[in-house]
Chains A and B, each alone.
Chain A
Amino acid sequence: MVEARNGRPLLLLLAVGGAILLVPVLNRLVPEGSPFHLEDRLVPRFGKYLAYAVLAVALDLVWGRAGILSLGHGAFFALGGYAMGMYLMRQIGPRGVYAHPVLPDFMVFLNWQELPWYWYGFDRFPFALLMVVLVPGTLAFLFGWLAFRSRVSGVYLSIITQALTFALMLAFFRNDMGFGGNNGLTDFKDILGFPITSPDTRLALYLATGVLLLVALAIAVHLRRSPLGRLLVAIRDGEARARFLGHDTLRAKLFVWTLSAVLAGLAGALYVPQVGIINPSEFSPAASIEIAIWVAVGGRDTILGPVLGAFLVNGLKTWLTGAAPELWLFVLGGLFVAVTLVLPNGIVGLAAALRGRPKRPAAAEPAVGGAEVARG
């Protein structure tokens, strides 16, 4: 809110765009051997962080702005990822271990004779892209409609989003679901005809993710300036009152919820070709809770906060799971407790406070649960 009030969001978008370009510049323009050169193998890692940043921006749209704390956004991310993974599996064609002309390896191994109907069409990229948007979007719309219509909010909503992602995880673990079970989808060969592991393809995927992040941020900037953005704040701080002013709060929530799920799905679709695998662990409840921690660390209801949080927490995770893997979960938990107690507005809130513009706490409510305070 601080940034938007000062009318500087365009500058922020430019700054993020410039930061995104650092990776190609350090990778391609700085000669190998220079201490500032970025190795090819690190490009997909930053691409992965960018996809996480999009996911964090998506969650902040519903959590920071509208007060709907989803602890199941990993599900929408993973569904988008699976849709892309199915396209990449079909691109393998006869080059699999078992060299079946159509069936992916795991189906051959399970002695399946033909392709299940829901794998049809995924050999075509436009169809896969459509599914990347439609599957998470439709699920979110139905789920949101049922939950918001019954006026489920606060911790109760958070808990059922956890249940949603947990149920999907159990389903995707099953071999007979036809999504590769425990192992998920992997051994991808190429995307749109380009070899998926070549440095050029990886840089292109990185840049595509960067563009998606800028689009997500532009949506966030526009939303907070629009009347709808104010209505969402009003819903967050007193939904009953907003309804009493004549606003259809169900429709507003459903819109931003579905939009957020679609962004999460797109992020998942760009994540999968860069990490080379999608499996049911992406649906795990803990994975979804981590997303909320990124947003909390960076700062809720800010433009830059979710991006910073996603990069910092995941950078820390990459380093720590290498240096001292047994410590990571303790650090993560400690981080969440510390941010909740000491930095309710995250890093961005701290920065604003240090610049001498004290920000009041986001709301008189605990970070978890962050929901409707019914008034009046």
Chain B
Amino acid sequence: MAEISRKLPGGRVLEPHILLYLDGVTVSFDGFKALDSLSLVLEEGELRTIIGPNGAGKTTMMDVITGKTRPDAGTVLFRGGIDLLALDETAIARLGIGRKFQKPTVFDRLTVEENLELATQGGWGLGRLLLGRLEGEGRERVERTLETVGLAELRGEEAGRLSHGQRQWLEIGMLLVQEPRLVLLDEPVAGMSDAETAKTAELIRSLEGRHTLVVVEHDMHFVRELGAKVTVLHEGRVLAEGPVEAVQADPAVVEVYLGRS
């Protein structure tokens, strides 16, 4: 862990409890700046909500963190000193950065339990896949995750038969079972009923402290229910940052975002 106290440009030192550090990240597509010198600091175990109008750069920011998009300029550091810009998508995923996309991508023809097992078995060799079984610590992780996402009773059900909300929880489970250091959730409650949204908020709050989570969301009601620190993006920059109430009261935020909805 010697890399933790790595010096940053500007001579500052990255604190050990900082999990993710973005500074001056700029991404342009044909002259349009999707991210304009964006800076963001996430602490270990933190739950952070990112909001902003369409085109504010939320998804682009996720793409930069997961290695899907390379920024034109800026610094992205993980767990102290690991330079994410030097790594490809697979290597970043192996570092423990898990991402849930907007569209659920569970395997419909496998059961809830089999989906979670498959996520746990990533990296297994051929012989183990052919002759082995999931036991011990991995089995416990699957059991724990079934409880966490509230699908223990539906473990034997084919994922294709689940409701939209249950599928989203299963997919969050498939991320959690891999024990990522950082979980990125892209609009987890899109298309959910009010009851499902409330249950999802409860699920995400229950993960706080155990996992570091970034939730990108449109739904203000849901953001209030999460009650976490909020970062408002606008035109590729951070417009405001702080507790939900403070952000909601910020005149600049009301102007560009809340005022319109």
Contact = CB atoms under 8 A, between A and B. Distances in A.
Contacts of B94: 246
Contacts of A223: 130
Interface in B96-154: 101, 103, 105, 107-110, 114, 117-119, 121-124, 126, 128-134
B121 A227 contact: yes
B126 A228 contact: yes
A376 interface: yes
A233 B105 contact: no
Contacts of A233: 107, 109-110
Contact of A376 (B103, B117, B119, B178): B103
B258 interface: no
B105 A241 contact: yes
Given A247-B121, A376-B103, A234 B110 contact: yes
Nearest to A236: B109
A251 B125 CA distance: 9
B107 A237 contact: yes
Contacts of B124: 227, 247
Contact of A226 (B105, B109, B131, B160): B131
B175 to A, nearest CB: 10
Nearest to A241: B105
Contacts of A242: 118
A228 B108 CA distance: 17
Given A244-B93, A245-B122, A363 B109 contact: yes
Contact of B129 (A228, A246, A360): A228
B174 interface: yes
B135 to A, nearest CB: 12
B105 A230 contact: no
A72 B230 CA distance: 57
A276 interface: no
A230 B114 contact: yes
A230 B120 CA distance: 12
Contacts of B121: 227, 231, 247
A234 B105 contact: no
Contacts of B134: 227
Interface string B14-51: 00000000000000000000000000000000000000
A1 B103 contact: no
Contacts of B105: 238, 241, 375-376
A352 to B, nearest CB: 14
A375 B124 CA distance: 23
A375 B119 contact: no
B108 A237 contact: yes
Interface string B162-180: 0000000000001000100
Given A226-B129, A226-B130, A234 B118 contact: yes
A252 interface: yes
A130 to B, nearest CB: 23
A237 to B, nearest CB: 6
A245 B126 contact: no
B107 to A, nearest CB: 5
Nearest to B100: A376
Contact of A228 (B93, B130, B174): B130
Contacts of A143: none
A234 B131 contact: no
Contacts of A119: none
12 contacts: A226-B130, A227-B121, A231-B118, A234-B107, A237-B107, A237-B108, A237-B109, A241-B107, A245-B122, A245-B178, A247-B124, A255-B130
Interface of A: 1, 223, 226-228, 230-231, 233-234, 237-238, 241-242, 244-247, 251-252, 255, 360, 363, 375-376
User: Which 6 pairs, one residue from A and one from B, show the smallest C-beta to C-beta distance?
Assistant: A246-B122, A228-B129, A376-B105, A245-B122, A227-B129, A241-B105
